Amino acid sequence: MRRGVLIYNLLFLAVVFNYRASAQTGDSTKLLNKVTVSALKKKNNFTAATPLQSLNSETLQQLNAPSVGDAARYFSGVQVKDYGGVGGLKTVSVRSLGAAHTGILYDGIPASDVQSGQIDLSRYSTTFVQSLDLQQAQLRQLLQPARAYSYGAVLAINTPVMYVNTFAGKQWRAGLKAGSFGLWQPYGGVQLPLARNMSVNISSEAVFSKGDYPFTIENGPDSEKSRRQNAGMRSLQGEINVAKLFDDSAVLQVKLFGYHSNRGLPGTVIFYNDRSVQHLWNKDLYFQTRYRRSLGKHTGFLTAGRYSNNYTRYTDPDYLNNQGGLDNRYTQREAYAATAIDHKIDDRITIAASSDVSYAWLSSNMPAFVQPTRWSFWNNMSLQFNGRLWQLTGSLLLSTVNDKTTTGTAAATINKLTPSITGNLRLGERSPFMMRLFYKHVFRMPTFNDLYYNMIGNTSLRPEYARQYNAGLVFSKQFSDALKHLTIGIDGYYNLVNDKIVAVPNKNLFSWTMLNLGRVDIKGMDVTAELSGQITGAVSWFSRIAYTYQRAIDITNPASVYYKNTIPYTPDHSGSGLFSLQYGRWSGGYSLLFSSTRYTIGENNPFNMLDGWGTQDAFLSWAKNMKAFRMQIKASIDNLLNKQYDVVRYFPMPGRSFKISLQLNNL
């Protein structure tokens, strides 16, 4: 079977390349439009067929959100599992589907973690992010890698290299942030135009944090008032991008990205036991490239490739075994290639196809490790109809996954066709209202940890399926003066997760296993509003409000005590707000985040309930153009009221903290 798909992929590539060759021999020089790049330049979320939320670099600055994981909390429909502090793991679950259903696109190319299925978003700093987009179901443009169609929702991280200003002259930026709990964060970036329509962009950032913030864990007279221990973190990341704009407006981007980190893992706060000696090292290196061009007036072509190497080392010197502790090392590698093409048949119909292949492998120093490898193929076909006021898109994705292991049995080959259909309708040429609907069926593969982890893994796992239904209404209008612009989006959704992969201690408490044990019924509503205006000539304001209501209940087994109980770590109500003002050189803002109560395990009783929480942040910044550069100074306070709370039980979050930053950049 696998061979068949491989041949199909090769055929597909052959067809595409032939087409490209023949197009080039035609009058391709006439096609000097800048569609390729400028299409990425401006987004109007209002016209998106599926719910799209976006935070641009300006808004990210106002949110005091150091990492993408922190920023994602401001999106509606999103739950960030946050283990606290600068070095704490942060993963994103959209609409209660779980982190493994969220795709992460970094500059247009999917990032993946085949070992755990979830990507730690605390690793992605927001400093150089130009735009962070969360899109449900389907990306706006059809010309995408097929893998981008495979997710329940996509979080796209875009740096400046994805934008047209890549070629717009010399730019530079350097800064330093300093904050509570020993935080130092220097960064710098430069973009230079080169000869022959090329440009180079280099950026780097380091983070040093002690992370020893105070916390209180309630345990009656034995309550613990302490500081986080072993929470130190050092990281360095950097990337080099080279882009070339060809005469026919084709764009080639090449990126080399590296990330090193070295951190203590403070771990759960365990009553009467304050020992913490576990340590984690990460070394990530990847190379990715993306080439996009037009093949004739009506045809777009995209090809992308990526090679990544992720090394993880985890130590626990206290672990009581005969080797004097644990020292686990994993290396995960993936080679990935994608090809996509779209073609406008006429004014109303666009067709698109894409085909991706990935080969991933995991090795470890663990004894009896089965060294799993995985071939994955994604093939997607999409058809889009455009009316004057409406758009209808259907996609069909074929996913094929084949695993091999050196010893033992590997998981069975998976072949699945999953459809999606999206539609939107504006209620009139000048109407501020737009309706949208989508249905999407997705699945996630069991990860290597799910399948092959020593004693825990279960090779007979099936994929986890999710069906998503969404209906929404958007209102967007431009006014004048004080309220210049208002956009409100309301979406109701229903998700049904089948064969949910859960860890179950079915042997004894020390040897858990993974099972397809679960049906989850999720009903929810996302509300997002963006408002902005000009109070007087000099004072402008911006506000963003997001609210999520959801009921995510376990409907696996009517006989269990937690039938129809809320699934763990899913609040009924959560949301965020931001309000900022700008006056000349000054800008200031206030933001808040809140969550209602949650349960830590499936059985909902007061003992397993975790209090709701709310935090508030504020900032003030001042900027001035000097002779040779622009200077900005910003001061911020996080968690103004010093609220003590846990997102994950017994992983206390930081209380009030301060940060001051200085940034210099070109005029």
Partner 1 sequence: MRKFRFLLPLVAIMAGMASCNKDDVAKEVPVVTTGVYVLSEGLFNNNNTTLTYYDLGTGTAVTDYYANVNGAGLGDTGNDLLLYGGKMYIVMNASSNVRVMDAVTAKSIKEIKFETPGGAKRLPRYVVAYKNKILVSAWDNSVAVIDTATLEIEKNIAVGANPEQMVVSGDKLFVTNSGGITPGHDSTISVVDLNTLTELRKITVGLNPNCITADSANNVYVGCTGDYAAVGPKLVKVNTLTNTVVKSADTAVGKIRYFDGKLYATGGYLGSAYIRALNTADFSAMGANFVTDGTQITMAYGLNVDDTSGDIWVTDAKDYVSSGEVFCFDKGGKKKFSFKVTPGLNPNTVAFIRK
Residues that bind partner 1 (CB under 8 A): 219-223, 267-273, 275, 277, 318, 320-323, 367-368, 455, 482-483, 504-511, 535, 543, 545, 547, 560-562, 573, 575, 577, 579, 592, 594-597, 600-603, 605-609, 611-614, 649-650
Nearest distance in Å: CB 644, partner 1: 13
Pair of tokens at residue 293: 């061009």
Nearest distance in Å: CB 432, partner 1: 18
- Name the residue nearer to partner 1 (CB basis): 243 or 553: 553
In 3D, which of 577, 330, 573, 318 has the Cα closest to residue 447? Answer: 330
- Name the residue nearer to partner 1 (CB basis): 28 or 574: 574
- Name the residue nearer to partner 1 (CB basis): 196 or 510: 510
Nearest distance in Å: CB 641, partner 1: 11
Measure the CA–CA gap between 183 and 230, rounded to whole angstroms: 15
- Name the residue nearer to partner 1 (CB basis): 559 or 626: 559
Buried b (16+ CB within 10 A) or exposed e, 384-404: beeeeeebbbebebbbbbbbe
- Name the residue nearer to partner 1 (CB basis): 238 or 577: 577
What SS3 string covers 61-128?
A: HHCCCCEHHHHHHHCCCEEEEECCCCCCCEEEEECCCCHHHEEEEECCEEECCCCCCCCCHHHCECCC
- Name the residue nearer to partner 1 (CB basis): 559 or 667: 559
- Name the residue nearer to partner 1 (CB basis): 29 or 321: 321
Nearest distance in Å: CB 367, partner 1: 5
Measure the CA–CA gap between 567 and 159, rounded to whole angstroms: 35
Measure the CA–CA gap between 189 and 166, rounded to whole angstroms: 13
- Name the residue nearer to partner 1 (CB basis): 138 or 278: 278
Nearest distance in Å: CB 369, partner 1: 11
Pair of tokens at residue 473: 């209404």
Pair of tokens at residue 80: 């960030």
- Name the residue nearer to partner 1 (CB basis): 195 or 368: 368
Q: What is the H or E stretch that residue 18 is in?
A: helix 2-25
Count of alpha carbons within 13 Å of 352, Cβ hemisphere only? 27
Start-end of H helices in 348-420: none
Nearest distance in Å: CB 321, partner 1: 4
Nearest distance in Å: CB 411, partner 1: 18
DSSP assignment of 482-530 equals TS-EEEEEEEEEEEEEES-EEEEEEEETTEEEEEE---EEEEEEEEEEE
Helices and strands (H and E) in the chain: how many:
5, 37
- Name the residue nearer to partner 1 (CB basis): 224 or 248: 224
- Residue 122 CA: distances (Å) to CA of 200, 461, 604: 26, 29, 30
Nearest distance in Å: CB 601, partner 1: 5
- Residue 3 CA: distances (Å) to CA of 8, 402, 413: 9, 11, 12
Nearest distance in Å: CB 596, partner 1: 5
Nearest distance in Å: CB 322, partner 1: 6
Contacts (Cβ under 8 Å, ≥6 apart) of 480: none
- Name the residue nearer to partner 1 (CB basis): 222 or 347: 222
CA end-to-end distance (rounded Å), the chain: 58
- Name the residue nearer to partner 1 (CB basis): 185 or 487: 487
What percentage of the chain's residues is helix, strand, coil (to nearest 5)?
Answer: 10, 55, 35
Nearest distance in Å: CB 268, partner 1: 4
Q: Do 50 and 468 form a contact (C-beta atoms < 8 A)?
A: no
Start-end of H helices in 356-461: 448-452
> Could you give the 3-state DSSP secondary structure of residue 342?
strand
In terms of C-beta density within 10 A (0-12 exposed, 13-18 middle, 19 or more buried), how is residue 351 classed?
Answer: middle
Nearest distance in Å: CB 221, partner 1: 5
Nearest distance in Å: CB 53, partner 1: 18
Q: Do 440 and 137 form a contact (C-beta atoms < 8 A)?
A: yes
- Name the residue nearer to partner 1 (CB basis): 220 or 537: 220
- Name the residue nearer to partner 1 (CB basis): 240 or 535: 535
Measure the CA–CA gap between 551 and 573, rounded to whole angstroms: 9
Nearest distance in Å: CB 614, partner 1: 3
In 3D, which of 424, 449, 494, 519 has the Cα closest to residue 138? Answer: 424
